[in-house]
Amino acid sequence: MKTNRTSSSFAVSLIVAAAAIATVMAQTPASKPASTTTTSTATTGTTGSTTSGDKNVQQTLQEILDEPTGGEVYRYDPQGRRDPFQSLIGPTPKLDKSNRPDGVPGFLIDEMKLQGVVKTRQGLLVAMVGGPDNKGYIIRVGDKTLDGEVIRITPSSVIFRQEVNDPTRIERFREVVKELTPVAQKK
């Protein structure tokens, strides 16, 4: 009994939908070509009088049919929200060779390689690093780089404090340790 009710209510709704489509198609002007072709075989219960609700439906359907089908460009309107297509980290900085200062202040920490550590007469440790230009440079504690600074020099390593541009991390800095690599012993 339950399946008969569902199938009969489905049939009634199908007939009503077909009647609405047939009514709209009958009232469209013949001079405009129809954008979709619909064939309906069942129309029942249509009378010559239409109510205001039918006019609203017909007007809405007519507006949908008259809409241009051209490929328009989608524009996102954030309305106070962030754009989901922009990076959370932010734009990556453009690092041109012309915009960088010369020497160690123009190098990124990842571009330098520790080549040696030297103890001076005053008892200070200084380090020699190789830059991306294949030249050697002497650095001391407190020297600035493009993305950080030297915070400590030990007899076997140099510790840098690197600025982190990551909004998902709480810390704004991280420590980067560059260690001396021992020379492989000959056999």
Single residue among 66, 100, 122 that ends a domain in this structure: 66
Tell whether 128 and 165 lie within a shared domain: yes
Single residue among 66, 86, 112 that ends a domain in this structure: 66
Task: Tell me the residue type at 70.
Answer: G
Range 106-111 contact pairs with CB under 8 angstroms and sequence separation of 24 or more:
106/146, 107/131, 107/132, 107/145, 107/146, 108/145, 108/146, 108/147, 109/145, 109/147, 109/148, 109/160, 109/162, 109/176, 109/178, 110/176
Tell whether 84 and 99 lie within a shared domain: yes
Domain containing 172 — which CATH number?
A: 2.30.30.830
Tell whether 138 and 183 lie within a shared domain: yes
Q: For residue range 43-75, what is the model confidence (pLDDT) as tens digits?
A: 444 444 556 667 787 777 777 766 666 666 677
pLDDT band for position 100 (cuts 50, 70, 90): confident
Whether residue 168 is predicted with pLDDT greater than 80 in this model: the reply is no
Tell whether 88 and 172 lie within a shared domain: yes
Q: How far is CA 172 from the centre of its chain?
A: 22
- Residue 45 has what pLDDT? 45
Tell whether 82 and 131 lie within a shared domain: yes
- Residue 160 has what pLDDT? 96
- If we measure between CA atoms, which residue out of 174, 151, 152 comes closest to residue 163? 174
- Residue 40 has what pLDDT? 44
Q: For residue range 74-99, what is the model confidence (pLDDT) as tens digits?
A: 776 767 787 777 777 666 556 666 78
Tell whether 59 and 132 lie within a shared domain: no
- Residue 82 has what pLDDT? 74
The structural domain count of the chain equals 2
Least confident interval from 53-57, 109-113, 155-159: 53-57
Phi, psi of 7 (to 5 degrees): -70, -35
Single residue among 66, 85, 118 that ends a domain in this structure: 66
Q: For residue range 113-150, what is the model confidence (pLDDT) as tens digits?
A: 999 999 988 888 899 999 999 999 999 999 999 999 99
Tell whether 60 and 115 lie within a shared domain: no
- Choose between 7 and 114: higher pLDDT: 114
Tell whether 82 and 121 lie within a shared domain: yes
Question: Can you give the residue range of the structural domain that contains 12?
Answer: 2-66
- Residue 137 has what pLDDT? 96
> Distance between CA atoms of 30 and 12, rounded to whole angstroms?
29
Tell whether 32 and 58 lie within a shared domain: yes
- If we measure between CA atoms, which residue out of 128, 118, 131, 114 comes closest to residue 181? 114
Tell whether 77 and 61 lie within a shared domain: no
Tell whether 61 and 88 lie within a shared domain: no
Tell whether 60 and 77 lie within a shared domain: no
Q: For residue range 12-49, what is the model confidence (pLDDT) as tens digits?
A: 788 888 888 887 777 766 554 444 444 444 444 444 45
What b-and-e string marks burial along 61-83, b requiring 16 or more CB atoms within 10 Å of the CB?
beeeeeeeeeeeeeeeeeeeeee
- Residue 39 has what pLDDT? 45
- If we measure between CA atoms, which residue out of 93, 107, 116, 119 comes closest to residue 178? 116
Task: Kindly report the pTM of this predicted structure.
Answer: 0.47
- Choose between 8 and 180: higher pLDDT: 180
